[in-house]
Structure 1
Amino acid sequence: MILVSACLLGINCKYNGDNNDNDRVKKYLEGKVFIPVCPEQLGGLSTPRPPAEINGDKVITKDNKDVTTNFIKGAEETLKIAKLQGCKKAILKEGSPSCGSNFIYDGTFSGTKVEKMGVTASLLKNNQIEVVSEKEL
């Protein structure tokens, strides 16, 4: 069983109401059992929503609202789903403040990337779930 960022499957749950439809991910998942998740929606955020980035130990939207609690709740709900379904692997959207597994944006909304994991990716990895990005398939 594999967790997958729902946006990678063409589900319109990205912050701007769009998706990150990825044919490589879909091809990889052919014949496999998977569960689409959007940690940000699971955390109670709407779609569309203001873009957010991690700044220090907080997740802040571009309009300066602290949504850290939503991101933590979404990560925890995603972990619950993973445990209930016995997921050992997650394919998550690189760069996302929730799902980034290798890099995220630096919190300045300048497009600068830093080596760091998103909130959900980090929680899953700390619970022995293999986390990879769509770029690593």
Structure 2
Amino acid sequence: MNKILVSSCLLGEPVRYDGSSKPLLHKLLTLWQQQGRIISFCPEVAGGLPIPRDAAEIVSDGSVLTVSGDDVTKEFELGAKKALSICTKNQIKFALLKEGSPSCGRNEIYDGSHQGVKVSGLGLTAKLLEENGIRVFSENQIESLYLKVI
């Protein structure tokens, strides 16, 4: 049975920068939880960032800066490496990650201006997983993920 790495915030865990969650209420996610397929993970927390924390975005040079200008690239990179390690250890080939996140964004991320502008792109964790053969899907693509894991 294929395991799936899932952003903790999608499972209702209050790990986002503002201490909130973004629970995904979907019958497939419930089914996968019942089947024991889900491995919950938050790369930002795993990388050592606190809850709550300043909002962060990827800027043009690829680094990750908070709204107050602090460089948190190392924490984001560490979280991404830990996600890859978990996937490797558990033979995970698929991930369901939170769209828009500088870690987990699959199709869109914020542009680095901290003005709420989204652009096409991958978060650091999503990018590292994809580069290592792990298929990443956003919460908006859960039906497509289902077709891969059945």
1:63-102 equivalences in 2 (<5 Å) = 63-102=68-107
* Structure 1 position 26, deviation (Å): 2.8
Q: Any stretches of 5+ residues in structure 2 without a counterpart?
A: 143-150
- In the TM superposition, what whole-angstrom CA distance separates every residue of 1:92-113 from its partner, at most 9, and x where no partner exists? 0000000000000000011110
Paired residue for 1:8? Answer: 10
Moved more, 86-95 or 20-29: 20-29
Query: How well do the aligned residues superpose, as a CA RMSD in angstroms?
Result: 1.1
Paired residue for 1:60? Answer: 65
Distance 2:135 2:86 in 1: 15
Count matched residues: 137
Alignment partner of 1:35: what SS?
Answer: strand
Q: Any stretches of 5+ residues in structure 1 without a counterpart?
A: none
Paired residue for 1:114? Answer: 119
Paired residue for 1:29? Answer: 32
* Structure 1 position 34, deviation (Å): 1.2
Percentage of matched positions with identical amino acids: 45
Bigger Rg, structure 1 or 2: 2
* Structure 1 position 28, deviation (Å): 5.5
Paired residue for 2:50? Answer: 46
- In the TM superposition, what whole-angstrom CA distance separates every residue of 1:72-108 from its partner, at most 9, and x where no partner exists? 0000011001100010000000000000000000000
The residue type equivalent to 1:71 in the other structure is F
- Runs of 4+ in structure 1 off by over 4 angstroms are none
- In the TM superposition, what whole-angstrom CA distance separates every residue of 1:2-21 from its partner, at most 9, and x where no partner exists? 00000000001010001001
Distance 2:113 2:40 in 1: 29
